[in-house]
Structure 1
């Protein structure tokens, strides 16, 4: 019996290699489960898909406001009072923030092509860990955005802490407490019989095999001393034109979402690592006094071939 990381790499690469993984990771367990028949996703993935947020969770879009811009003068979001967790206490007005954002869907294409993004909450087995990383990053400006992104990719590949190289372990220990570090093992892959995985991969759709192969490559890179960020990025972020992914929806660029707390928000990505966030709080709104916590937000594209983007309270400096 071998670890799933090595079996997945061998099996997936043998049948097609790394390519466009257009299925949302939230659907990955379901698709593999269907392919494996009676085995089910729980047997294959341990019911531990790290981040499950998908287009199905992005239900707050407001197409009636397409092309609309608030009349109020635009103000910097970071002029508002901040919370200890890196959030912003909202007041009435029109606000903008140039945020560091993070890829949550390795093996897919970055933003572009006029595709719009919608608000959805962070969900999945690794949600508490990812949110903690993003919140704590605000208090650790010495930790570069690239180091944070590399750690997030490693978590999404379901690596164990002890299998990460020393640089990734150091980043994790800077941004997470002892309880959160221990929780990483709960989303890591366990050992399963290779014949189970091989049968599932043989019957799975090509895009699922490719997604598993991308995860396996990231696990391998994360364990190797001296791995560079560019090496991980080349696996996680696909180049070229993004195809239209299955289950995609037409979402206008700059579409507003109405957050359940009562404010309007939209995401204008400038690449996967940089998102311009705009928020509008109407006078008298129930949102006044509430907190916008970027770490709990995922910007979800209408095109499922593109990356979901985690948001942070750290400013992106050009």
Structure 2
């Protein structure tokens, strides 16, 4: 009898546990669906507000010396040059929805420097910048790059960064470690390295490896291409890639986001297109770094004083001693 009772107790415990797990799973699914529906509803509401409004050029707003855009209330857009940062993935198409993500890639500091400095040098050939970025993210030998690409690197990077690309101190001496495969490098990156080492001289040969001309795999059909993504600071952002070489960026700052001085709690609301990248929200398409605007513009630079210097006290002048009667004579 006790054994039978114990068996029923364990059975009851098992059923309760399964029901709890099942309920948690259902709750999680409902929450994900609720979040998705909330985002889609917000997008519909914003698009309804903007239905008769034409976006103003984002590049007409003031910028910091680093290229951050000082946002003001309103609806803006600009088309930027974009760059493939994940070789071996499909070219973006209308089936791919994009959102913003922090810049994450191999040799991130060098990639960000290339993109940021390109803002100041819009005359540089986009294909040479792309070849430089492919060489950086694939860990290719800088010395194998063509002269036009090396010349582009010299205009975008510091001497220290170029020294790093050449291998630094370790690169001066040939070592066996150079020939060992790096597990972090994908098959496409290995193919890119081989192309650079073989001296391939056409852009198309690299592009065929880096940008797959096939449909992306969509894994989240609920996420829509037109969906707005809310950012810290209360503004909204969305991306519309045109292939991997151009991306239209739209920004919406609702009324009431900024105070009467155009700030938030004494700070400018800044959008930095470079230290973020456009990533697919619903598929395995390309990850895109963002560079200079497609159309050259005159940048309106604003200097933002981030740290207010503490005023130094002026040294007090020594008091003049009264002259004696002898000195007066």
Would you say same fold, with TM above 0.5?
Answer: yes
- 2:220 pairs with 1:249: yes
Structure 2: 5+ residue stretches without partners:
1-35, 297-329
Distance 1:124 1:233, change over 3 A: closer
Q: How does 1:164-243 map to 2 (within 5 A)?
A: 164-184=145-165, 192=177, 212-225=186-199, 227-243=201-217
Q: Show CA shifts across 1:114-170 (max 9, x none).
A: 221111111245221111111111221231111111111111111232343333222
From 261, 272, 287, the equivalent of 2:244 is 272
Runs of 4+ in structure 1 deviating by more than 4 angstroms, as ranges, are 185-194
* Structure 1, gaps ≥5 residues long: 1-58, 201-207
Does residue 107 in structure 1 map to residue 88 in structure 2? yes
Distance 1:282 1:66, change over 3 A: closer
Output the TM-score relative to the length of structure 1. Answer: 0.67
Q: 1:291 aligns with which of 247, 270, 280?
A: 270
Q: 1:125 to 1:308 in 2, by over 3 A?
A: closer
Structure 1 residue 304 displacement after superposition: 3.9
Partner-residue secondary structure (3-state), 1:128: helix
- Are the structure 2 counterparts of residues 141 and 212 from structure 1 closer, same or farther at C-alpha, using a change threshold of 3 Å? same
Q: 1:64 maps to which residue?
A: 41
CA apart distance, 1:235: 0.9
Larger Rg, first or second structure (1 or 2): 2
SS in structure 1 of the partner of residue 274 of structure 2: helix
Query: How far apart, CA to CA, are the structure 2 residues paired with 1:272 and 1:94?
Result: 24
Aligned to 2:60: 79
Is 1:127 equivalent to 2:98 in the alignment? no
Q: Distance in 1 between matches of 2:167 and 2:234?
A: 34
Q: CA RMSD in A?
A: 3.1
Of the structure 1 ranges 166-175 and 98-107, higher mean CA displacement relative to structure 2 is found in 166-175
Change (3 A) 1:166 1:94: same
Q: CA deviation at 1:191?
A: 5.4
d(CA) in 2 for partners of 1:163 and 1:102? 21
- How far is the alpha carbon of 1:90 from its aligned partner? 0.9
Structure 1 residues 224 and 64, CA gap change in structure 2 (3 angstroms) = same
Residue 307 of structure 1 corresponds to 286
Shift of 1:82: 2.2
Alpha carbons of 1:263 and 1:186: their partners in 2 closer, same or farther (altered >3 Å)?
Answer: farther
CA contact (8 A) 2:56 2:75 kept: yes
Structure 1 residues 242, 62: CA separation in 2 closer, same or farther (over 3 Å shift)? same
